[in-house]
Structure 1
Amino acid sequence: MKYTFATLALAAATVATPVPGAASAAPSSFRITNVVSAGSGCPQGSIDVKWTDNKIFPIYFNREFTAKVGSGKDVVDSRKNCQINLKLEYEQGFSFAVYSADYAGWADLDNGVTGTVKATYYFSGEQDQTSSAVTLDGPFHGKYYKSDDVPLAVWSPCGKGEALFNVNSEVYLNPIATPAQGVLASTREGGRLTNNLYFQWKKC
C-alpha cells in the first residue's frame, strides 16, 4: 500500500539519548509491509507512515484526527482515536522499542480548556504496553511541538525478524460540556498532527 501525503516540516527535531547496552544502529534490512488504520480519527488510508534514517518513525494524521468542544459541538467530537497496525519486517536477531515521541500540531484552546494527545504502544500477541502523552492548557492558540520520553517497557519479540506493531492514538479535550471553545490537531495552512516515534534497537 502506498501513502503519498505531503510531509509536515518540523523545526529543530529532538534526538533522544541512546539507551546504554542497546545496539547503536538498526538492522540492515527494515521495511513496512502493511499498514491498517481504523477509528473515528483515521479512516483507512487517511494516515501517512514513513521510515527515516533507521531510527525515526513519523506518523502523519489527516484532518479527521481533530477534537473539538464548545457551543454547538457534539460530545463525540471531544475525543478522536486512531488504531494503527503496522506489519514490520527486519533482520533476524534484533529487537526494538519506542523510547521517545515527538508531537507537533495546531491547537486553539480558550481559557479553561485542556487538550491531550496520547499514544499507547504494544505488539500483537504480547500483554505488555507502554504509552506517552502531552497536555496543552488553554489559553493556547497556534502551533505546538512537544517531546515525551517513553518507558522502555515493551520490546518486539526476539528472533522472529517480523512484528505486528500497534499504536493506539487519541486526541481529546476537557471539559466536554463547556461554552468555551477548543480545537486540537486541526488542519490549518497545510499543517497536520504529527507523531514522531524514536526506535532503539538491540541484539537478541
Structure 2
Amino acid sequence: MLSTLGAATAAALLLAGPASPTTPARYGDDPPTGKITITVATVNGSGCRPGSAAVAIAPDNTAFTVTYSEYLAQAGGGSRPTDARKNCQIALSVHVPQGFTYAVARADYRGYASLAKGATGLEQAGYYFQGQSETARRSHTFTGPYETNWQTSDETDVDALVYAPCGEERYFNINTELRVDAKSADPAATSFMAMDSTDGSINTVYHFAWKQCPARR
C-alpha cells in the first residue's frame, strides 16, 4: 500500500462490502477434467512488486483468479506525482491437459475507490499470448464523488477469441493500469483507486473459453 493511505485503512474499506461476483457463463467446449496449473513467471510494474500477486484456478476449470496485495493509485493530499498512476505486467505460465487449448472470454476486475468531488479514476487492461499482439486495451472511468466498490467486465465476442496455439506452451501476459486524476478536486482531499486485497477477498477473474485441438496425424 502507499504510505499516505495506510494498509489498515485500505483493508477495512475493501472488506466493507465487496461486490458480488458475477455468475460466469460457459464459453466454448466443456472444460477439461484434468489438472491445470498456472504459476506467476514474472511480475513487473509500479503496482505489483515481486511477491505481491497470486493466482488460483477455479475448481471446475472454468476460470482463474489473480489477487494483488499492493495495487493502489492515489492523488491529492500528500500524494506524490508518481502515486497517481500504477501499472502491473504479469506473465503466467499455464499448463493445460493435452488435447485442449484455451482463450480468455471475459475478465472481471474488482476493487474499491474513494474519489473526491471533481476527481476521476481509471482502470484499463489488456492481455495476450507470448509472441502475439496484445488485445485492444479497454478503459473504464469513474467520477467523484465515489466511495464504494467497483467492478468492470471486458468480454470478447466468440468470433474474436484468440486461442493459445495447440501443443505449445506460451506465457499468458496481463497488463493492467490504475490512474487517479485529482486536479479538479479539493487539493487537501486524497482520492484513490485500489485493486488489491490483504485476505484474497478482492480479485480479478479471467473466464476460460475451451476448445479441443485437432487430432494429430
What is the TM-score of this pair, normalised by structure 1? 0.81
Deviations 1:93-123 (A, max 9, x none): 3221111122221111011212122221001
Q: 2:163 — aligned with what?
A: 155
Is the aligned partner of 1:136 residue 2:145? no
Greater percentage in strand: 1
Following TM superposition, by how much is the alpha carbon of 1:171 offset from its aligned partner in structure 2, in angstroms?
0.8
Distance in 1, Cα, partners of 2:196 & 2:210: 33
Spell out, residue by residue over 1:49-89, the C-alpha distance to the aligned partner (whole angstroms, 9 max, x if none). 111120121111112x1100113322211110111011111
Change over 3 Å in CA distance of 1:27–1:13 after alignment to 2: same
Q: Deviations over 1:142-175 (max 9, x none)?
A: 2233433235442211232x23100111111125
More helix by share: 2
Matched length: 193
- SS of the residue aligned with 1:129? coil
Give yes or no for contact 2:124–2:138 (8 Å, CA) kept in 1.
yes
Q: What SS does the corresponding residue of 1:76 show, helix, strand or coil?
A: helix
Instruction: Answer whether contact 1:82 1:169 (CA < 8 A) is retained.
Output: yes
1:13 matched to 2:21? yes
Match of 1:73 among 75, 79, 94: 79
Unaligned runs of 5+ in 1: 1-7
Identity of aligned residues (%): 35
Larger Rg: 2
Partner of 1:164: 171
SS of structure 2 residue aligned to 1:77? helix
Among 97, 104, 110, the residue aligned to 1:98: 104
Listed as ranges, the gaps of 5+ residues in structure 2 are 1-14
Q: 1:24-39 maps to which residues of 2 (within 5 A)?
A: 24-26=30-32, 28-39=34-45
CA RMSD of aligned residues (A): 2.7
Please state how far the C-alpha of 1:17 moved relative to its aligned partner.
3.3
Does the CA-based 8 Å contact 1:129-1:153 persist in structure 2?
A: no
Q: 1:186 to 1:145 in 2, by over 3 A?
A: closer
**Is contact 1:101-1:132 (8 Å) kept?**
no
